[in-house]
Structure 1
């Protein structure tokens, strides 16, 4: 029994676990599957990634202070985050994956990086 490529349907030669005849078919198949994903999830993931990139670029040393205006200018979207962390003294850090911030007085922010694994 010949195995067939999941994308084009051509016969596959090679390893027993092979699913595609070449890289082009593998890419086409995966792109087609990804295109059918929930567009809302895709949009949110794009926003989260952009927020993370902004925080990462503005905070290369792992801790820095800057203004809210700087975050806004860079395109940071304050409506999207991955999680919050509240300290014992009540400070609320907002995170986008491993990068986050603490809102300070007068529209200043302390950017931080969580270096914990897992």
Structure 2
């Protein structure tokens, strides 16, 4: 004997199998989407999303392979220099932080904070 059960998403009465939870695949998908949206963003997702944004911005502002840009321009667009994938030190001892193949180095020129943007080169692996 079956107790009357309703769809977990739309609350319509369910017909069919006794273990059924949703009236159709759309309701199942909608309910799972709502549940996922209620969960706090996972740490991995926060890091991954920030790395993607950082890479996108570095790529966008460094079309030629090397560029210099005011730090405030990148920061205003959501760039966060604390998120990077690896680093590389040049012969002068400057440490460039990289987000995948796009690197940046913070410097101050005439009291203005800037980033020197570069792209990863094969010789950097050596």
* TM-score, normalisation: structure 1: 0.62
Aligned to 1:62: 65
Matches of 1:64 and 1:88, distance apart in 2? 19
Alignment of 1:1-118 (within 5 A): 39-105=42-108, 106-116=112-122
CA deviation string 1:3-60 (max 9, x = no partner): xxxxxxxxxxxxxxxxxxxxxxxxx9xxxxxx8xx92112211110010001001111
Structure 2, unaligned runs of 5 or more = 1-28, 30-35
* TM-score, normalisation: structure 2: 0.59
Matches of 1:72 and 1:40, distance apart in 2? 21
Structure 1, unaligned runs of 5 or more = 1-27, 29-34
Aligned length: 86
Q: Which runs of 4+ in 1 moved over 6 A?
A: none
CA RMSD of aligned residues (A): 2.7
Cα offset, 1:108, TM superposition: 1.5
Larger radius of gyration: 2
